[in-house]
Amino acid sequence: MPRLSLYRPEKSKDFKFFDRTIYEMFQVGGVEIHVHKYIGPVDPTDSTKALGETTIQDVLFLENRDRKYDLDIYTLRGHYQTQDIDFNLSQFGLFLSNDTVFVTVHINNSVDLLGRKIMPGDVFELPNLREEYIPDINNPRNFAAAIKKYYVVEDINRAAEGFSATWYPHLYRVKLKPITASQEYADILNQPANTDTYAGAFDPDKTYYPGQTVMYNGQIYRVITAVGPQGTELTPPDPAAWSASTENTLGDLISNYNIELDINAAIIAEAETDAPLSGYETSQYYTLSVDPLTGRSLLNTVDATIDNISDIDGFASDVNAPPVRDGYKGYLLDDGKQPNGSFASDAQFGFGIQFPAGPVRGDTFLRTDYLPNRLFLWDGTRWVKQEDNVRMTMTNNDTRQTLKTSFVNNTAISGIDKAGWDTVIVGTPFDTAGITTAFTVTPTNVVVVTSLNYNANFKVEVWLNESSQAQNVVEQNVSGKYGFTIPETVANGMRIRYTVFATYVEQRQAVSKALRKIKPEADQ
């Protein structure tokens, strides 16, 4: 049986003739394309290196989010069919229906240039599509820097029109989509807009000269004096050899991230103005107290049926008796305010974390240690729940009190394992029997030093007059003892109670962590 030989088309004279001819056609009539070669995900041990094109960074989601690109830009010739970019208006929003570009390139030319086949992840820059007349936001009469067009390779196949008479392919058809200012392309977009002086990521083994720029820990630095084996060995950000650059990056030019943030902030501000709280506002409506027996208005009058003037709720000058609770009920109406709060001049209202002493019938008190805050009414013998403050702001962040914030965005902590506590009163000598050893009051803050040995794990909780918790307390080591500073302006007579905890836990927990604490009663 004869031995089969491997036929290599590049050895064929016919193949070479067709391939050289097709290559020359692209060199003469093709458009110039700048190729940013993908070299693999970033090496976690050295951000200046890559792990290789065939490495998968996240094998669970099959993603390469931290991509590394070659610093050298390769110039390739290709051809593509131009087309009008139209918006698809057949559904809500504006969607580009034909923003995909199909580029045809020469196979052998692209392989010889890159050292491998074009692959998904490579980024093509099309200089002929550069937008040069973008108005400057600060001065529309001037033009901002030209915006380049970047496309990422999504797929590559042999082009149907690229087969010659020898039945061998000569062309690749590359599918491109516009890139976004995302994590995958940060290695390209974080480069300075002026690429003429850019020397890539900082390498201590290289020599850099004044005027060049490098990337170090995500920041661009400009060289002041020669750095490297031929000069000083200073590394960024040493001010003797480097200065932080403030010039725009490629991402700053092509990304609309900051503009979208401004638009989003304006939308939130407008929404908070139009609907500051969830639910419906009923505080402007008057609640009329009604006699449950007759169904008529319950009036405070002095007549023969009243033997003692003290039996009247409120004052004798009141026409209507104060209502027991709001007369408007529905979804998200309760706001934690007493009925007719803006009308009733005799309404007694307070708030805090514990009920006041000596309440009078009809007093209302808002407990701020409940979440949501809960309003109580003193009926003469006990505090009766009135309503919960369920009308919250709907902006979900740490600075606004929302029901979402109470779990998802809660950054507060809870102390456990009490190490010690004490109470001091401003303007009064502190009790030396407690743990307080020094108590200093300044116009802007209060400094407290305790007898406890300093421990970095200690956390302190400070209450002012039992009504408000001090915020932004600064803990410090004072000659080996635990101390802290309260950034508050205090007055004489203010009661300051603090508790030092040995350890603490975060109030915010992952769902899986919280569920582990729930006893699976259904499985019993």
**Structure-token pair, residue 125:** 């820059």
Say whether pLDDT at 347 is over 80: no
Say whether pLDDT at 307 is over 70: no
Same domain, 365 and 482: no
Last residue within a domain, chosen from 220, 238, 254: 254
Q: How many domains does the chain have?
A: 4
Same domain, 212 and 230: yes
Name the residue with tokens 């009809």: 362
| Domain-located, residue 398 | no
Per-residue burial over 109-118, b = 16 or more CB atoms within 10 Å of its CB, e = otherwise: bbeebbeeeb
Same domain, 435 and 343: no
Q: Which of 12-26, 43-57, 67-81, 225-239 is predicted least confidently?
A: 225-239
* CATH, residue 210: 2.10.10.20
- Residue 206 CA to residue 375 CA, distance in Å, equals 69
Same domain, 22 and 169: yes
Gyration radius (Cα) of the chain, Å = 37
| The predicted structure's pLDDT at residue 97 | 64
348: pLDDT confidence band, cut at 50, 70 and 90? low
| Domain-located, residue 519 | no
- Residue 258 CA to residue 4 CA, distance in Å, equals 64
Residues 6+ apart with CB under 8 A from 204: 228, 233, 235
302: pLDDT confidence band, cut at 50, 70 and 90? low
pLDDT in tens, 37-87: 999 999 888 877 899 999 999 888 889 999 999 988 899 999 998 877 776
Q: Which of 103, 82, 251 is nearest to 171 (CA)?
A: 103
Same domain, 111 and 219: no
519: pLDDT confidence band, cut at 50, 70 and 90? very low
pLDDT in tens, 109-130: 999 999 999 999 999 999 888 8
The average pLDDT across 251-277 equals: 81
Same domain, 331 and 202: no
pLDDT in tens, 380-413: 888 988 888 888 777 765 544 444 444 444 556 6
Half-sphere exposure of 218 (CA within 13 A, CB side): 3
Mean pLDDT of the chain: 79
| The predicted structure's pLDDT at residue 304 | 43
| Domain-located, residue 274 | no
- Residue 483 CA to residue 471 CA, distance in Å, equals 16
Same domain, 344 and 309: yes
Q: Which residues pair with 439 in a beta bridge?
A: 448
382, 361 contact by CB (below 8 A) = no
289, 321 contact by CB (below 8 A) = yes
| Domain-located, residue 521 | no
At 14, which helix (H) or strand (E)?
Answer: helix 13-29
| Domain-located, residue 512 | no
Last residue within a domain, chosen from 135, 162, 189: 189
Highest mean pLDDT among 125-139, 234-248, 364-378, 444-458: 444-458
pLDDT in tens, 420-434: 889 898 888 888 888
Same domain, 47 and 154: yes
Same domain, 36 and 184: yes
- Residue 107 CA to residue 172 CA, distance in Å, equals 6
Say whether pLDDT at 1 is over 50: no
| Domain-located, residue 225 | yes
The average pLDDT across 329-347 equals: 67
Give 475: exposed, middle or buried? Use CB within 10 Å, 0-12, 13-18, 19+.
middle
Name the residue with tokens 């030396």: 432
Same domain, 34 and 144: yes
| The predicted structure's pLDDT at residue 114 | 93
Last residue within a domain, chosen from 172, 189, 206: 189
| The predicted structure's pLDDT at residue 485 | 92
| Domain-located, residue 400 | no
Same domain, 372 and 440: no
pLDDT in tens, 169-208: 999 999 999 998 888 998 888 888 777 788 877 888 888 8
Same domain, 448 and 369: no
Domain of 358, in residue numbers: 279-391
| The predicted structure's pLDDT at residue 250 | 80
| Domain-located, residue 261 | no
